[in-house]
Amino acid sequence: MAEDVMLSFKSQALCPALSKDEIRKIAPMVFAPSKTNPETSDRYDYIGTEKLIDDMAKKGWYVTECKQQRANKRSKVRSFHTLAFQNPNLGIINEETGEVEAFPRIIVSNSHDGFHSFKFMAGLFRLVCSNGLILADAEFTAFSLRHINYSEENLYKIVAESIELTKKKVTVINEMKEKRLSVSEQREFAAKAIAIRKGVEVDKLKVSDEDLNDILEPVRDEDRDDSLWSVFNVLQEKVIKGDFTLGKTKTGKRRKSRPITGAAKDIDVNQGLFIAASEYLQAA
């Protein structure tokens, strides 16, 4: 098993934290002063996400990215939002170069409408492409914290569990770096990635060789490799950022995909891609 990546508590790089004013501009529902759904039960215990931000900061975790789900015609009370927390003193070091390769993240989702409790997911922020991903596998379930059970003690317990999960996933990353994918496996994985993005079964997907070649083409030379880790990162970045073509318009022009902007879809696609990548390790 490869040993060239490790978790370090002596980070050599910083990822800038967002101020509350910056968060408010992107995801104002984070600061909702009270519940947004008048139909929630009187037993609903409102805990604002701003309190969680303050409590996480006490342990050195700061918001570096946030998203808010856009309102839809069916419901104007939904206030689902996500926050990515990073600790500037906790990084993943590449032992060969001695440099920080990525930052562990704790991804938190919440809403003030009674539809969601706090959910915590382990994630990574990869420096080389300024891109975040969410770690998951078939057995992994996000940690949850109901508003009624919210306390700093329970919160910090979940933070500790998330760090332990990240340590275990560093081993998986090492294994992904060792695993080589054949050309046919890369194309199979690419088709799965597109199917996850579109929300369809891969056997119902119609995709051309041209489209598969495009989504597998690395953005940077650092990812020009046949390792599972490199292929996964190429696909993840392109699927999330929409940097690939899929099909053609009526005029024959290749259709460019759009970036994923929805908070919920971002989570679902990220987790689906990591699970799909992990299956290649299980088949080894």
Pair 205, 114 in one domain: no
Pair 102, 208 in one domain: no
Q: How much is the pTM?
A: 0.75
Q: How many domains does the chain have?
A: 2
**Final residue before a domain boundary, out of 178, 209, 228:** 178
Pair 170, 224 in one domain: no
Pair 146, 217 in one domain: no
Distance separating alpha carbons of residues 83 and 64, to the nearest angstrom: 8
Cβ pair 269, 239 in contact under 8 A? yes
Pair 128, 262 in one domain: no
Give the pLDDT score at 56.
92
Pair 47, 133 in one domain: yes
Pair 50, 152 in one domain: yes
In order along its 284 residues, the chain shows pLDDT tens digits of: 344 556 565 555 556 789 999 999 998 888 887 665 555 555 555 677 898 899 999 988 999 988 887 665 555 556 788 898 988 888 877 777 777 777 888 888 887 665 667 888 888 787 654 556 566 554 445 677 776 777 888 888 888 888 887 777 777 888 888 999 999 999 999 999 999 998 888 888 888 889 999 999 998 888 889 999 999 989 988 998 887 888 776 777 778 888 887 777 888 888 889 889 989 987 65
Domain extent at residue 162? 5-178
Give the pLDDT score at 3.
45
Cβ pair 147, 46 in contact under 8 A? yes
**Final residue before a domain boundary, out of 137, 153, 178:** 178
**Final residue before a domain boundary, out of 178, 208, 228:** 178
